[in-house]
Each structure stands twice: as structure tokens, then as C-alpha cells.
């Protein structure tokens, strides 16, 4: 293949033959039933075969569109065929060619025609055998044909053309990747059969069976990886940190508020874990604003007072600083030395100090809690006796960070990860199966409901007026710009099925760099529009991922100090920051976002005493996700709903996980998940090192590499 093709394939995530064979169709068209031309009725999708008797190109007057029109006949009759804007087809077909055609019969203004059908020319040397009743082994018609996730210049037609001969050639050499006993017990098709049937199925049932095998395999591999991590960890020794009840009670009594029941439960679960001889590996999961930091602080306090150090890692400088402030306030009077290490500034005990100094003091054990960004896991930072690692707002794999943090330690420190993305149970089992889970479902008392409204285009002005009024009375506003969708090509093979939903998932290969620049453009445009046309009388600011850290901080500071009224940003602005005076979250093109993300955005307001609002601007006010937003405010409930509505892609960043699209839908299926876990467990129980399963061992190694790259 040439470099151009390679580049295109790369966009689909295809780098080698294996990737190509595992680029599965996301649906099929059933063109297996070839009918006589006379039976082709308008409104139906049909597949016919016949001879081209006429072909010509012309252009329409009004739309200046190219139309290729052909007439095709068989023994039963004649049919008119029309293609739009593919004038080159005139060179593909000649009068007298024999073709398969599959597409929709249309009747317009009394003219009946087959509209833009998928086509396949039958080689002339085959026509005779066709007349003798032999079946031509067609690729694009006359069978159930695969429709693939596509990218610009890489059609299903092309993929079929490449994949079929490849499969034919090597299908007997593809090694089985699931143990035989698993195949048998679960009644799954062997890989050779399945890979053929998933691309070129004999029937839709067989395609389904093939898919079932691959879904099972993906989930099985995932379960295997996760369970073996768990086994590995259980063998490690940890420091026992006894619960200091008097201390904990004193801390809780000192708080300016009462802990919620879920906060208490979670804190207790964590403290109990710290007492064990094996390292804790726990995820604290609770909606934005549910109060995870206090819970983590209890664990940190207990650890510090037991004589061990705590590393508290945040994804950004701004958040790290916020944590420094919060913990310092909460732990006032407990005589805990709290430090901060970031790429720029370093603090200890409320004073700025040099990087070298904080590193030295940490090494000597003169810092009890060291908060920081990635700077924490640098080679130079070394703890005297690290007991607990807390990782905030990161996905699950604190494993690697922990590994780095305790490079020179005898024992593995305990690990507490925190996440504000509510995770439904099935998903938690699948991808967090090796973590213990603490949930904070209940919000602190006294939180006001955020009034959530879908704003149709005709109500836009009204919403703007409302926003201006709020700002005039002192409040502030966030504006999130619409998500940039990669341009997806309309699939030539499926013009008749509205596959908008299907094509949404095809953007995975899109160059991230291009995407983020496109987002910057969107932010700039929205900023221009709001600052010049809509709110010229207000202070509008903007924030996006391409700004330098200092620039970002300046913008955020100006917002914090209320010098900016309205802050326009991309969808990626920091989560977790507290702006109690911001009361309006306005989301443009809200239907473009997943439910989980919308909910995250909404979580940025409603943190103060004032009534807050979330405005979902959309041209599709009936979108079920938007409706769900107006009904519920419970992140866990919405996450379950999102899972039902569109699969979990949005919840966890499936790309990070490398979970293929075709598996995502199955993550709703708790029975299947439990089955795959049981199967993986069974194998690991008999053979924990996978000595007898070299294939599985290889896959496991890849899994570990994948997660350790995070
Ligand atoms: P998150 O879970 O998003 O990290 P935070 O820990 O930042 O949430 O808490 C959000 C806010 O709620 C903080 O200002 C915190 O002081 C406050 N808070 C936490 N717990 C409670 C509670 N039980 N009652 C009242 N306010 C609370
Ligand atoms: Mg937080």
C-alpha cells in the first residue's frame, strides 16, 4: 500500500494486517436476495442483476448536480438507475456490462428508479456460468455485505475489496486466541470461523454468533488483566496504619459542617483498609461537589499522625493549589506539615520555598502531606516513609504513579484514587474490577437544585436577556462551546439508512492535534460573538487548551476576582475548581455532548449560596439526553441512563481503555460481564501464572503495558 493509503488506514487505527482483520463492520446490509427486475417496487430496498443497455451523464439545471443515468434489464423487465454526483461512473460501466445492483427503489413525479445503488460489475468471463445457474461470489451485492466504520477516502467498498482476499489467503493461519475449554464451555465459535463470519457472514445469525465470540473475548481479556493485577497486589505487603479514633473524632467535630452518611461510610472503609497488611487499592467515586476532599483528608490525617507521609496528586496546578488551601484549612490546629510541589511554585507551611528545599525536607520526613502535580513523581522526589498515595481526578491507573512514588520504599503505600465521574455498576465491575469502591451518592445538605432548561433557538434571546440580568446582579457565567465533531463522510453504501448515530463513533482516528485547534477556533468564534454582538457591555473572557499555563491562570484569576463576567471555554477546562459566584452554565450545541459530560459541566455551578442555572442550547430539544438532564440531578442515575442510551463510551474515555466500539454496547450486559469474569477467574485459579496458556500470557503482557503507559 502507498503512503497515502497507509495514512488513511492509520486514521482508522489500522497499522498492520491484524488491525485490518479486526476492523469489524458495525452493521450489515442484507443484499442476499436477488429479485427479478419486474418485482422491484418503490419504497423497497432491492438487489437485482442485469445488463446495462444505456448509460449517460447529465447535469441538473437548478442544483448543477451531476446525474448518471443507466437502464438495466433482465428477462423480466427493465429498470432505470440513477447515481448522483459520481460522473466517473460513466467510465466504470459500458453498454452490455453485466451488473449486480443493490439500493432503494424510488418513485418521484411518476418516475420509478433505483437510487444510487451499490454496484458490482460481473467479469465477462463469468457471465456464461451465471446463465448456467452458478452463483457468483460477489463482494458488494448479492449477499449480506459488511458496512465498516469509515474515514475520508476509505469506503466500505474499498475495505471489502481489501479484506476479502486477505482473509481468504490467511484464514487458516490465524491462531486461536481463547483457550479451548473456554470456547467449549461458553459455546463460542473458533476464531477462524468467527473472523470469516463477522466480515462476510452466511446469515445474520452467524454474524451475531461471531460477534458474540469477539465481545466475549475482549471482556474476558480485560477481566483476566484486571484480576491478575488484583492477585499481584494482594501478595504485596503494606504498612499497617491503625485507626486513631480520638483523632478522627476530633477532626470531624471541628468541621464547619456535618459529614453526610456516605462520607462517613467511605471514610470508615478507607480507614479500615489502612489497617490491613495488604495495600489498599480503593476508588472513591462521587459526583462533583459531593465532598471527596474531606474524606481523603481524614485518611491523610490518620496516616500522618501514625508517622507516615502522604502524597496527594492533582492533575493540574490550579487544583493542586486548591487542595493545599483546603487541606490547610481543614487541618488547622492539628500540627501537620503540608507542602506543595508543582512545576512552578513550591510551598511549605504556608510559605514559598525553593524546589530543592521541599525535595530535601520530603526526603528527611519533614513534610507530612506533600501535595503536587506530576512534579510529585519526578525522579528526584523521594519520601522517607510514604504510607498513603491519594490521586485526585485521575482515571484508575494510579498504579504506575504509586510504583514511581515508592521506588525506594520497603513497602507499597496504600492507594486512594478519586473520581468525579459516576460509574454504573457494570462498568465499575468491568474496568475497575480490581479496585474496592467507595461511593458518595448523597450530596451535602442544603445544596440548591440547579435549574436546568433546554433552550430552543427561538428562546435564545430570552436566555441572553436572563443571563445579562444575572450578571447585572453580580453573578458570573460559564459558556462551554460545542464539541467539535470530526467530519464524517456519508457512507456511500448506506445512503438510505440514516446512520447518523453510527457515524458519530467514527471519529476515533482523528488527529487529536487538529481537533484541539478546531476547538480553539470554536472558542474564539464564540468569544467574538458574545463579546462583540451579544454582550458588548459585559466582560467576556476565554480559556482554551492551547494557552500557556500562566495565561490560563491569569484568566482564571480574573474570573475568580470577578473581573470577568462570562468565561467562554472548551469542554476541557479543569474540573473540580470552585467558583461559588458562578451561577450559570451555558452549553452551546448541548446535544453534541454525552450525558456524563453535560452533568460534569453542570457541576461547575451551584457551589455557592445563589440559585444556579444550566442552559442547554440546542436545535434538537427532544434529544433524550437533554431531557434526562432536566429531569435528574443524580450523577449515578444519569450515568446508568447514559449507558442505556448510547453505551458507555463517554463515561470513561473508552479510547484510553482500548475497548473497541463493538464491545461497548455489551458493557450494559451484567450477566455477560459476570460470565467473562468467572471464566477468567477459573483460569487464574488453576494457573495463576498462565504457564499453560502462552497466548493468554502474551495478551496479558500487552494489557499491562497498556495500563502502565497511562
Ligand atoms: P469534590 O467531591 O467535587 O472534590 P469537594 O471535596 O471539593 O468536592 O467539596 C465541595 C464543597 O463542599 C467544598 O467546599 C466542601 O467544603 C463542601 N463540603 C464537603 N462536605 C460537606 C458536607 N458534608 N456538608 C456541607 N458542605 C460540604
Ligand atoms: Mg475534588
- Convert the pLDDT of each residue in 508-562 to its tens digit: 333 444 556 777 788 899 999 999 999 999 999 998 878 887 888 889 889 989 9
pLDDT of residue 277: 92
Task: Answer with the residue of higher pLDDT: 405 or 237.
Answer: 237
pLDDT of residue 651: 42
- Which of 428, 500, 459 shows the shortest CA–CA distance to 283? 428
- Convert the pLDDT of each residue in 454-468 to its tens digit: 999 999 999 999 999
3-state secondary structure (DSSP) of residue 520: helix
Q: Whose CA is nearest to atom 25 of ligand 1?
A: 444
Query: Looking at the CA of 297, which ligand is closest?
Result: 1
Output the ligand 1 site: residues, CB below 6 A. 257-260, 263, 286, 288-294, 420, 444, 576
Q: How far is the CA of 315 from the centre of ligand 2 (A)?
A: 11
Q: How far is the CA of 232 from the centre of ligand 2 (A)?
A: 29
Q: Whose CA is nearest to atom 20 of ligand 1?
A: 291
Torsion of CA 439, 440, 442, 447, to 10 degrees: -150
Query: Looking at the CA of 607, which ligand is closest?
Result: 1
Q: Is the dihedral of CA 296, 300, 302, 303 positive or negative?
A: positive
Q: Which of 289, 326, 332, 393 to mutate to test the pocket of ligand 1 (most atoms within 8 A of CB)?
A: 289
Q: How far is the CA of 461 from the centre of ligand 2 (A)?
A: 35
Distances (CA, A) of 266 to 152, 273, 416, 559: 49, 11, 11, 34
* Percentage of the chain lying above the pLDDT 70 cut: 86
Of 43-52, 149-158, 298-307, 671-680, the range with the highest mean pLDDT is 298-307
Least confident stretch, 40-54, 209-223, 446-460, 634-648: 634-648
Distance CA 545, CA 91 (A): 48
Q: Which of 264, 265, 286, 294 to mutate to test the pocket of ligand 1 (most atoms within 8 A of CB)?
A: 294
pLDDT of residue 534: 95
Cell numbers for 226, please give them: 484486571
Q: Whose CA is nearest to atom 24 of ligand 1?
A: 444
Q: Which of 262, 444, 608 to mutate to test the pocket of ligand 1 (most atoms within 8 A of CB)?
A: 444
Band the pLDDT of 658: cuts 50, 70, 90.
low
pLDDT of residue 488: 37
pLDDT of residue 247: 97
Q: Which of 263, 293, 575 to mutate to test the pocket of ligand 1 (most atoms within 8 A of CB)?
A: 293
Q: Whose CA is nearest to atom 26 of ligand 1?
A: 444
pLDDT of residue 197: 94
Query: Looking at the CA of 252, which ligand is closest?
Result: 1
Band the pLDDT of 130: cuts 50, 70, 90.
low
Question: Hunting for cell 436477488 — which residue is that?
Answer: 34
Q: How far is the CA of 606 from the centre of ligand 1 (A)?
A: 12
**Bridge partner list, 584:** 477, 613
Q: Whose CA is nearest to atom 16 of ligand 1?
A: 291
Q: How far is the CA of 607 from the centre of ligand 1 (A)?
A: 9
Q: How far is the CA of 576 from the centre of ligand 2 (A)?
A: 5
Least confident stretch, 194-198, 376-380, 566-570: 376-380
Distance CA 30, CA 200 (A): 11
Ligand 1: which atom is nearest the Cα of residue 392? 4
Q: How far is the CA of 289 from the centre of ligand 1 (A)?
A: 5
Query: Looking at the CA of 438, which ligand is closest?
Result: 1
Cell numbers for 158, please give them: 474499498
Q: How far is the CA of 388 from the centre of ligand 1 (A)?
A: 21
pLDDT of residue 679: 94
Query: Looking at the CA of 327, which ligand is closest?
Result: 1
Q: Whose CA is nearest to atom 19 of ligand 1?
A: 291
pLDDT of residue 379: 73
The yes-or-no verdict on residue 507 having pLDDT over 80 is no
Q: How far is the CA of 291 from the centre of ligand 2 (A)?
A: 7
Ligand 1: which atom is nearest the Cα of residue 293? 6
- Convert the pLDDT of each residue in 579-606 to its tens digit: 889 999 999 999 888 887 888 889 889 8
- Convert the pLDDT of each residue in 433-450 to its tens digit: 777 889 998 888 877 889
Ligand 1: which atom is nearest the Cα of residue 295? 6
CB 299 within 8 A of CB 275: no
Query: Looking at the CA of 580, which ligand is closest?
Result: 1
Ligand 1: which atom is nearest the Cα of residue 393? 4
Query: Looking at the CA of 316, which ligand is closest?
Result: 2
Question: Hunting for cell 456460468 — which residue is that?
Answer: 129
Q: How far is the CA of 260 from the centre of ligand 1 (A)?
A: 10
Task: Answer with the residue of higher pLDDT: 474 or 673.
Answer: 474
- Per the prediction, the chain carries an average pLDDT of 84
179 phi and psi angles, rounded to 5 deg: -60, 145
Q: How far is the CA of 398 from the centre of ligand 2 (A)?
A: 16
Ligand 1: which atom is nearest the Cα of residue 260? 23
E-only strand ranges, 456-560:
476-480, 540-543
Query: Looking at the CA of 318, which ligand is closest?
Result: 2
CB 296 within 8 A of CB 418: yes
- Convert the pLDDT of each residue in 259-268 to its tens digit: 999 999 999 9
Q: How far is the CA of 432 from the centre of ligand 2 (A)?
A: 19
pLDDT of residue 248: 97
Ligand 1: which atom is nearest the Cα of residue 322? 7
| Residue 247 burial class via C-beta count within 10 angstroms: exposed 0-12, middle 13-18, buried 19 and up | middle
Q: What is the mean pLDDT of residues 179-208?
A: 93
Q: Whose CA is nearest to atom 17 of ligand 1?
A: 291
Band the pLDDT of 389: cuts 50, 70, 90.
very high
Q: Whose CA is nearest to atom 18 of ligand 1?
A: 291
Ligand 1: which atom is nearest the Cα of residue 446? 25
Q: What is the mean pLDDT of residues 657-679?
A: 75
Q: Whose CA is nearest to atom 15 of ligand 1?
A: 291
- Which of 263, 584, 303, 564 shows the shortest CA–CA distance to 441? 263
Distances (CA, A) of 14 to 9, 145, 168, 524, 695: 5, 21, 19, 34, 22
**Bridge partner list, 568:** 479, 542
CB 478 within 8 A of CB 298: no
Q: Which of 259, 291, 418 to mutate to test the pocket of ligand 1 (most atoms within 8 A of CB)?
A: 291
pLDDT of residue 126: 67
Q: How far is the CA of 577 from the centre of ligand 2 (A)?
A: 8
Q: How far is the CA of 602 from the centre of ligand 2 (A)?
A: 15
Helical H runs in 475-511?
Answer: 500-504
Q: How far is the CA of 578 from the centre of ligand 1 (A)?
A: 10
Q: How far is the CA of 509 from the centre of ligand 2 (A)?
A: 31
Q: How far is the CA of 113 from the centre of ligand 2 (A)?
A: 61
Instruction: Please state whether beta strands 540-543 and 346-348 pair in parallel, antiparallel, or not at all (unpaired).
Output: unpaired
* Percentage of the chain lying above the pLDDT 90 cut: 41
Q: Whose CA is nearest to atom 9 of ligand 1?
A: 291
Task: Answer with the residue of higher pLDDT: 230 or 256.
Answer: 256
Band the pLDDT of 331: cuts 50, 70, 90.
very high
Ligand 1: which atom is nearest the Cα of residue 288? 3
Amino acid at each position: 500500500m502507498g503512503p497515502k493509503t497507509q495514512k488513511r488506514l492509520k486514521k482508522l487505527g489500522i497499522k498492520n494486517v491484524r488491525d485490518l482483520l479486526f476492523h469489524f463492520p458495525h452493521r450489515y446490509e442484507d443484499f442476499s436476495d436477488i429479485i427479478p427486475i419486474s418485482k422491484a417496487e418503490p419504497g423497497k430496498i432491492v438487489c437485482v442483476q442485469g445488463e446495462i443497455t444505456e448509460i449517460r451523464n447529465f447535469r441538473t439545471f437548478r442544483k448543477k448536480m451531476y446525474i448518471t443515468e443507466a437502464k438495466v434489464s433482465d428477462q423480466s423487465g427493465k429498470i432505470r438507475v440513477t447515481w448522483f454526483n459520481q460522473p466517473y461512473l460513466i467510465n466504470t460501466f459500458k453498454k452490455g456490462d453485466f451488473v449486480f445492483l443493490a439500493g432503494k427503489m424510488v418513485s418521484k413525479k411518476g418516475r420509478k428508479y433505483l437510487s444510487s445503488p451499490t454496484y458490482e460489475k460481473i467479469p465477462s468471463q463469468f457471465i456464461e456460468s451465471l446463465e448456467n445457474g452458478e452463483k457468483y461470489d460477489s463482494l458488494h451485492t448479492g449477499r449480506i455485505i459488511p458496512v465498516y466504520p469509515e474515514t475520508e477516502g476509505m469506503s466500505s467498498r474499498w475495505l471489502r475489496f481489501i479484506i476479502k482476499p486477505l482473509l481468504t489467503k490467511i484464514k487458516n493461519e490465524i491462531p486461536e486466541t481463547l483457550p479451548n475449554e473456554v470456547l467449549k464451555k461458553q459455546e463460542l465459535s473458533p476464531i477462524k470461523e468467527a473472523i470469516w463470519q463477522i466480515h462476510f457472514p452466511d446469515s445474520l445469525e452467524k454474524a451475531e454468533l461471531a460477534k458474540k465470540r469477539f465481545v466475549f473475548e475482549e471482556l474476558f481479556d480485560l477481566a483476566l488483566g484486571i484480576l491478575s493485577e488484583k492477585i499481584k497486589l494482594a501478595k504485596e505487603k503494606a504498612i499497617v496504619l491503625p485507626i486513631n479514633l480520638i483523632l478522627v473524632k476530633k477532626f470531624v467535630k471541628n468541621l464547619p459542617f456535618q459529614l453526610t452518611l456516605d462520607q462517613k461510610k467511605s471514610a470508615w472503609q478507607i480507614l479500615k483498609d489502612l489497617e490491613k497488611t495488604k495495600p489498599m487499592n480503593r476508588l472513591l467515586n462521587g459526583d462533583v461537589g459531593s465532598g471527596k476532599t474531606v474524606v481523603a483528608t481524614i485518611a491523610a490525617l490518620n496516616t500522618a499522625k501514625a508517622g507516615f507521609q502522604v502524597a496527594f496528586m492533582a492533575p493540574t496546578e490550579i487544583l493542586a493549589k486548591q487542595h493545599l488551601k483546603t487541606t490547610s484549612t481543614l487541618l488547622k490546629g492539628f500540627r501537620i506539615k503540608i507542602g506543595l510541589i508543582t512545576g512552578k511554585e513550591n510551598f511549605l507551611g504556608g510559605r514559598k520555598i525553593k524546589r530543592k528545599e521541599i525535595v530535601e525536607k520530603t526526603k528527611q520526613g519533614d513534610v507530612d502531606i506533600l501535595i503536587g502535580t506530576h512534579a510529585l513523581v519526578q525522579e528526584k522526589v523521594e519520601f522517607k516513609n510514604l504510607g498513603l498515595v491519594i490521586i485526585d481526578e485521575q482515571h484508575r491507573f494510579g498504579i504506575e504513579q504509586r510504583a514511581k512514588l515508592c521506588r525506594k520504599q520497603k513497602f507499597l503505600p496504600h492507594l486512594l484514587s478519586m473520581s468525579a465521574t459516576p460509574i454504573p455498576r457494570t462498568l465499575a465491575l468491568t474496568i475497575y474490577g480490581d479496585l474496592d469502591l467507595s461511593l458518595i451518592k448523597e450530596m451535602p445538605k442544603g445544596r440548591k437544585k440547579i435549574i436546568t432548561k433546554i433552550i430552543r433557538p427561538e428562546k435564545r434571546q430570552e436566555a441572553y436577556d436572563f443571563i445579562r440580568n444575572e450578571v447585572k446582579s453580580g453573578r458570573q457565567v460559564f459558556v462551554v462551546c460545542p464539541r467539535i465533531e470530526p467530519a464524517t463522510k456519508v457512507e456511500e453504501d448506506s445512503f438510505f439508512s440514516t446512520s447518523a448515530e453510527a457515524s458519530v463513533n467514527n471519529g476515533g482516528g482523528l488527529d487529536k492535534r487538529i481537533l484541539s485547534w478546531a476547538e480553539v477556533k470554536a472558542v474564539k468564534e464564540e468569544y467574538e460573538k458574545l463579546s462583540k454582538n451579544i454582550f458588548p457591555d459585559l466582560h467576556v473572557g476565554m480559556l482554551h487548551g492551547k494557552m500557556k499555563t500562566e495565561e490560563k491562570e491569569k484568566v482564571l484569576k480574573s474570573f475568580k476576582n470577578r473581573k470577568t463576567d462570562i468565561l467562554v471555554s472548551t469542554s476541557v477546562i479543569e474540573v473540580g475548581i470552585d467558583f461559588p459566584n458562578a451561577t450559570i452554565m451555558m452549553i452551546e450545541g448541548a446535544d453534541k455532548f454525552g450525558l456524563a459530560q453535560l452533568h460534569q459541566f453542570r457541576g461547575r455551578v451551584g457551589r455557592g449560596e445563589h440559585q444556579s442555572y444550566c442552559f442547554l442550547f440546542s436545535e434538537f430539544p427532544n434529544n433524550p439526553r437533554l431531557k434526562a438532564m432536566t429531569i435528574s440531578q443524580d450523577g449515578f442515575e444519569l450515568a446508568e441512563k447514559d449507558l442505556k442510551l448510547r453505551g458507555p463510551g463517554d463515561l470513561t474515555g473508552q479510547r484510553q481503555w482500548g475497548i473497541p466500539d463493538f464491545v461497548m454496547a455489551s458493557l450494559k450486559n451484567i450477566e455477560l460481564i459476570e460470565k467473562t469474569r468467572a471464566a477468567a477467574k477459573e483460569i487464574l485459579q488453576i494457573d495463576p501464572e498462565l504457564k499453560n496458556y502462552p497466548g493468554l500470557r502474551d495478551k496479558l503482557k500487552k494489557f499491562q503495558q497498556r495500563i502502565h503507559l497511562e
